[in-house]
Every structure is written in structure tokens, then in C-alpha cells.
Amino acid sequence: MRGTLSSILATPNGYTEAVAANLFPAAAAVGELAERPGIREALQWFTREKQWVNDIHLQLCRVPAPTFLEQQRAEWMASNFRALGWHTGIDRAGNVLASLDADPVGPLIAATAHLDTVLAPRTKEDISVDRDGDFRGPGVSDNGAGLAGLLALAKAIKSTPQTPQIWRRLLLVANVGEEGEGNLRGMRHLCSQPDLLRRIKTFLILDGAAIDHITCQALGSRRFEVTVSGNGGHSWSDFGIGNPVHALSRAMASFVDTRPVDPRATPKVAVNVGIIEGGTSINAIPATARAKVDIRSESNERIDDLVAALHAAVSRAEDIENNRAVSCRVSARVKEIGSRPAARLAPDAAVLGFLRAVDSHLGIRARLDCASTDANIPLSLGVPAVSIGAGGQGGGAHTTGEWYRPDGRDLGLKRIFLTAALLLGSTETPE
């Protein structure tokens, strides 16, 4: 029994257990795997050492890591991986890579979590625990939960008396540049290395907290900065010269109005003018005006159509303003500042079946979803990847009111651990 990803996504409960059991006979063996020496002890560790995980989570969140400025947190993560007995290094992009062997042999499974946050704590006191035990502060869920998951995975594996050999092919990565204009630069760097990419068979990406979803479809996006420039002048004595704000406003309105977007249409698209600014005074004609535009879709083709419409709207607005001006023309420029390809995981990918098998064993009900994450890059290159939460609950991402509740975190960590074990077992080689 096989189906298209679109038909699977349309199923209320996602990828049905009947499909998973048919495609992946190993699904029935998860319970047996969980009782094996070295596996059972690690699973028990996640429950027993909840306080250690909470403490390390709070510590890492107090190390600021705004996008493009992740170095301090990268060094902190590297130091902690080394303290746990993992061979660790920081690559040219600033990504932290850790493995049990200095030079692991054979095919690899990569478990990753992004280092950067949209907002950063100004002081350590900005990260706190309230009377109910909830963590409060920027980045505590996105992606403090994912990074804490990597460290918990690293410590659980090293804490077991019988460490299975399969873990020697696990690559742990704390990567830079996932958020906003970071444009997935850390993951791009990893995937730009042909020798490394050939060895990584699957990316298991830990992003946020919730375990009720499996992101297996990459939401594509392209982002642009539109700048209109002119001479500027006095609102009365220079009236009639080209006005960049007028031109930019006309361009943005034209772009949105001439390309109506139906939220019910398939494939879905979304456009957003998130920033528009310019000028210095109400009685001064501005010299520049700027806007930032975000275009998203499940389809790269639909994104390309909207990009063409944006360029046309800007060009048309520039011409209209210059035809109205008595002097001092304006000039417009459209600069791309971000691009994330749309892509999707094959419905019969091993990682999807293994996740469903683990979820069935642990009693987790998860839906498949589409989102923009680090998984966009490997999926666009044909490498299996999923993004999942690391356990617990979180909310308020990208705001000063962000929160994280660690209750039930160990269930998410067990899910990650068992899925990674199944993936590593399925890629074993005589090496």
C-alpha cells in the first residue's frame, strides 16, 4: 500500500499505521529494541535525569546567540560536548559538530538543532523559571529545547554501561543561521560538502518542543528588500520631485492587489510586506524608502510567479512616479535577501516509517505538516530529513514572552533516541 504525500497529508491522522506497518516490517520490533542492553538503560536515563536536562537547558539559554552572532553559544556547546566525552569541533560556518569517534566510519545519521534565536537575552536574569516551573525568556523553546535535546542525547549515550556500536555513526550538530535572514546558512554549509553529504543518510532535526507533528514537507520562501532612492527635499518648496515613499507605497499596494491570494487555493501561497520605512520628518520629502517582502509557498513554481509579479510592480511604480515628477527622478532596486527551496520527503522514506513505529510504541499521535526549517536544504537535495520537537511544550516563539514547560520532555527525548537507533541500525555496514 503506497500513496502520494498529498494524499497522506490529507489523512486526518497522517501517515496511517497500516501504511507504516506494510512498508516497514521493523515497526513491530520497536518494543524489542527498547529492551536491548544499552538501549533500555538510556531510555531510563531520560526519565531519571530530568533535572540535569532542565539545568543544562537553562544554562544554554542564558548564553546569547542572535542570528549571525552565535559564536559564544557555539563555544559553550562545544565545551559541553567535550566534557561529555564527544570529539568536537567548530567548522568554518560556525557549526558545532560532535561524534564519539574522531573520524567515524561508515554511513552517518545527523541529529541537528539550530543555535540561533530571533531575540536574545540581555542579561542572564532574562531567562527565568516561574512558580509553576515554566521557563521564561527569549529562545527557551525555539531552540533551547532542541539544543538541550542534543546534549541529553549525548549524555544518555555516554552514561550507559554498554554503548552499542551504532552510536559511533551518529553525528550531532548545533548549527548556525536558521532563523530569519540567517537563510539556513549553517545547514547550507553542511550540505555544500559533497563527501560529508554523501555519508549522511538522514537528517533528524530538533526544532522547538511539541511532539505532535512531523515536518516532512519544506515550505519554500524567497525574501526581498525593495529600496527606492531619490534626491529628497522640502515638502513645500521642493514639491513635485520624485518621492521614494510614494513610489514604494504604490509598488507594495500594486503587488498585493494585482496578485490576489486565496488562502484556500492549492498549492497555498502567502505574501507579506513585513517592514516598510523611510523618511525623517513629516515635512521632508524622503531620500530613501525601503520595504522587506516575504513570499512563501509549497510550490517553487508559484513562488517564481510571485517574484516576477513583485519585480513588475516595482518597475511599474517607479515609472508612474517618474512620469508624475517635474524633476529629480527616483530609482528602484529589488535585492534578494533570502531563499529557501520548497521540497518534500518521499512517503516511503525510512525515517517516516521509523518515526511512526516509535510513536505507536510510545503512544504519541502526531500529524504530518509543512513548515520552513533546516530540513528545507537536505530535502531539496534529495536527502531524507524531518524536523520534530524535542519534547515538552512551548509557545510565544520569537517574542519576549516565549515560554517552555518541561513536563513530559522525556517522552520526546525517548522518541528521538529510538528513531535514531532504528535509522543507525538500518544503515549498518560491514565497516
For residue 408, pLDDT beyond 70: yes
Query: Any residues with CB less than 8 A from the CB of 52 and at least 6 apart, and which?
Result: 152, 155
Which pLDDT score, from 0 to 100, does residue 267 have? Answer: 85
Q: What is the pLDDT of residues 197-249, one digit of tens each?
A: 999 999 999 999 999 999 999 999 999 999 999 999 999 999 999 999 999 99
351-360 pLDDT, tens per residue? 999 999 999 9
Cα distance between residue 209 and residue 409, in whole Å: 8
pLDDT for position 14: 37
Which pLDDT tens digit goes with each residue over 298-341? 999 999 999 999 999 999 999 999 999 999 999 999 999 999 99
Task: Write the CB contacts of 192 (distance below 8 Å, at least 6 apart in sequence).
Answer: none
pLDDT at 22: 42
Is the pLDDT score of 384 beyond 50?
Answer: yes
What's the chain's Rg over C-alpha atoms? 24
User: Is the domain covering 220-340 a CATH 3.30.70.360 domain?
Assistant: yes
The per-residue pLDDT for range 16-40, each reduced to its tens digit, is 444 444 444 455 689 999 999 899 9
Q: Domain 5-218+342-426: give its CATH code.
A: 3.40.630.10
Element (H, E) at 87: strand 87-90
Q: What share of the chain is helix, strand, coil (3-state, %, to 5)?
A: 40, 25, 35
Q: What is the mean pLDDT of the chain?
A: 91
Q: What is the mean pLDDT of residues 392-415?
A: 97
Q: How confident is the model at residue 8 (pLDDT cuts 50, 70, 90)?
A: very low
Strand partners, 214: 368
Tens digits of per-residue pLDDT, 127-176?
999 999 999 999 999 999 999 999 999 999 999 877 788 999 999 999 99
At residue 430, does pLDDT exceed 50? no
How many residues in the chain? 431
**Encoded amino acid at 245, one letter:** V
**DSSP letters for 321-369:** HHHH-SB---EEEEEEEEEE--EE--TT-HHHHHHHHHHHHHT---EEE
Could you state, in order of their start, the residue ranges of all structural domains in the chain? 5-218+342-426, 220-340
Cell of 107: 554511513
Residues contacting 406, CB < 8 A, separation 6+: 50, 53, 54, 57, 133, 135, 392
DSSP state of 176: S
pLDDT of residue 128: 97
Higher pLDDT, 162 or 103: 103
Give pLDDT, residue 428: 60
H helices of 372-408, where?
376-380
- Mean per-residue pLDDT, 253-270: 80
Pairing relationship of beta strands 108-114 and 170-175 according to DSSP bridges: parallel
Give the pLDDT of residue 28: 60
Examine domains 5-218+342-426 and 220-340 and report if their fold is the same. Answer: no
What are 50-73's pLDDT values in tens digits? 999 999 999 999 999 999 999 999
Q: List, as one string, the DSSP characters of 177-244.
A: --SGGGTTHHHHHHHT-HHHHHHEEEEEEE-SS--SEEEEEEPEEEEEEEEEE---EETTTTBTB--H
